[in-house]
Amino acid sequence: MMLRTLVVTCSALFLVACQSLYGPPVARPSPQPQSGTPQPQPGTPEPQQPVPTPVPPTPQQTAKEFRLSAASAALVKQSRAQSVKGEYPAAIATLERALRIEPDNPLVWLELGQVNLASRNAPQAESMGRKAVALATGNPGVQSTAWRLVGDALRSRGRDLDATEAYQRAAMASPR
């Protein structure tokens, strides 16, 4: 019984608080023209106010920065050590843990692509590179690196024409 009373009281207080914050709409009188201001004649168009033109942002303002979290950075460091030892399955598993932490970070996808390329899994490396390209919108440097990974993966599969196209995309995306 006491719990019910408490719930009803809290609900009532909540409703009162909401009504005081978001009370009924107040009708506001329309502004009356001042006597000294000339009024447009009926049927004539109102004078148009100048519309400010937006200034496009410079590339430096729009470049999105990607950084690894502390946990992901530690996992990337660990995977690099595993890769140096040739422990590619362990390095891939470590980077997959980093992906669970930051699935939308293209830097982790790039690392995973590099390990796959080193372990001679070029199709997977290409896939990781393309995923990094898609996630790196707004950062031409990361996109360029991702396209180079795609090019390297394609070249290792003997697809030189496609690799050349990927390298050209890397050059076009490059901020330099």
Tell me the per-residue pLDDT of 106-154, one tens digit each, with 9 for 90 and over.
Answer: 999 999 999 999 999 999 999 999 999 999 988 999 999 999 999 999 9
**Domains in the chain, start-ordered, CATH in brackets?**
70-173 (1.25.40.10)
User: Over the stretch 14-53, which tens digit does the pLDDT of each residue have?
Assistant: 444 444 434 444 444 555 555 555 555 656 555 555 555 5
Sign of CA dihedral 145, 151, 153, 155: negative
What is the rounded CA–CA span in Å between residue 121 and residue 54? 47
List the end-to-end C-alpha distance of the chain, in Å, as a whole number. Answer: 73
Confirm whether pTM is higher than 0.75: no
* Eight-state DSSP code of residue 72: H
125 three-state secondary structure: helix
Selected residue with higher pLDDT from 78 and 46: 78
Q: What does R_g of the chain's alpha carbons equal in angstroms? A: 30
